[in-house]
Amino acid sequence: MEAVADSVDRRELLEMALRPLGALGTAAKFPQDRSGIERLIEHLPPGRPSEPKRFAFQAADEVPRYDDEHTIWLVPAGEGSLRVRRQVPWELGFVAVVVRPDGRAGEFEETDGFGVPDSELTDQARADRQAFERRRREQEEEQPAHEERIEERQTRFRTENLIRTVAAPPGQHPDGPVVAYLALYETGLMLNYLVPRPPQEVMRPEDPEDPFADPGTEAIFPAIEIDDGLGTEYEVVDIDAVDMNSSPMRGRLSYTPAVPTGAETIRVSFESVTVAIDLEEP
């Protein structure tokens, strides 16, 4: 199959190219040797914590590497420039662009495979190709089980599995997190709660010190523990920001396994508040 980079791949490549350029500081040119580029990589800004990107050096005369790890390869391109290259996701092909130290970026280069005849492939390239083909076979073999897991996840809380809902006690302090109700399913448990909305200057600072901070998400998903008194270990399987625009905000966490029939109470603990919900049927 021919690898084709699309505009998203090209855009993401340019996004990644900004980091080594920024890390260059006041240096006149990009380093052209391994140690210089590896030092540059050490000084790259970290980027979004939830999407760490791995950068690595590759020599200009090396056949392109494929590691399926979304690595951004920095390759000396001569005249103080860098070729920034990344694998097209899930393909044996790459998209690259040469960036000059003044920020000029060349045309996108797209290459299928290794860009050289098979007879010129190095041992490393053959190993990369074999590993890529093995991963693809494994993915194909894993596909039915993968689809089964998706099916299970998407249908776990179908209406036929709903047993009943249980309201949390009234009179909880409105200034803190408040449990609204539990939904008990044969396949799990849903916890519906409200949390105070942080002030606007916290939610949307004009000039955030940490540009990747997400105070709204942090607030709506506080640390929560649930205890049924029977030692059941609940695992969060889904999180929903039901309403982040309201004040208080509303969130929902879904857990497995189902609450055992012998459980009489669910205790929901936030950092500062614990709410006990009586499960006894009226």
Partner 1 sequence: MTQPGFDEDEEMREQEAASILLLRVALRLLGESRLRGDFGTEEALAGRAVAIADEITGGAPSPHPRRPVIEASLIRPDRISLSAPFDSSSSTAWSLMLDGTLYGGMTVTGYGFVEAEEPEESSQEEEAERERLQAEWRVRTERIRQFTATRFVRALTPPSQPGSPRPILAVLLYEDGFYVESTYDRDAPTFDPEAEARQFFAVQRGAEPVITVTDDVGTEYFESAGGGSGGVRVSHASLGFAPAPPRTARALRITTDGTSVELPLGG
User: Letter for the amino acid at 34?
Assistant: R
User: Nearest approach, Cβ of 67 to partner 1 (angstroms)?
Assistant: 18
Pick the closer one to partner 1 by CB: 76 or 177.
177
User: Nearest approach, Cβ of 174 to partner 1 (angstroms)?
Assistant: 6
Pick the closer one to partner 1 by CB: 103 or 260.
103
* CB distance 248 to 197 below 8 Å: yes
User: Residues 15, 138, 141, 271: which binds partner 1 (CB under 8 A)?
Assistant: 15
User: Nearest approach, Cβ of 124 to partner 1 (angstroms)?
Assistant: 26
Pick the closer one to partner 1 by CB: 24 or 63.
24
User: Nearest approach, Cβ of 116 to partner 1 (angstroms)?
Assistant: 24
Q: Is the dihedral of CA 234, 240, 241, 247 positive or negative?
A: negative
- Crossing angle of helices 7-23 and 34-42, in 10° steps, is 90
d(CA 103, CA 106): 10
Tell me the per-residue interface mask from 221 to 260 with partner 1, x by CB under 8 A, - otherwise. -------------------x-xx--xxx-x-x--------
d(CA 46, CA 56): 14
User: Nearest approach, Cβ of 105 to partner 1 (angstroms)?
Assistant: 5
Long-range interactions of 242-249: CB distance < 8 A, separation 24+: 242/192, 244/216, 244/220, 246/197, 247/196, 247/197, 248/174, 248/178, 248/194, 248/195, 248/196, 248/197, 249/194, 249/195, 249/196, 249/197, 249/216, 249/219, 249/220
Pick the closer one to partner 1 by CB: 61 or 207.
207
- Region binding partner 1 by CB under 8 A among candidate stretches 15-23, 121-129, 228-236, 257-265: 15-23
Tell me the per-residue interface mask from 23 to 52 with partner 1, x by CB under 8 A, - otherwise. xxxx-----------------xx-xx----
* CA distances (Å), origin 58, targets 8, 65, 74, 96, 257: 24, 8, 6, 13, 47
Contact between 70 and partner 1 by CB under 8 A: the answer reads no
As a whole number of Å, the end-to-end CA separation of the chain is 62
User: Residues 140, 201, 207, 280: which binds partner 1 (CB under 8 A)?
Assistant: 207
Per DSSP, helices labelled H in the chain are 7-23, 34-42, 123-155, 200-203, 215-220
Contact between 273 and partner 1 by CB under 8 A: the answer reads no
Which positions lie near partner 1, rule CB under 8 A? 4, 6-11, 14-15, 17-26, 44-45, 47-48, 88-91, 99-105, 154-155, 157-160, 162-171, 174, 178, 180-181, 183, 192, 194, 206-207, 211-212, 240, 242-243, 246-248, 250, 252
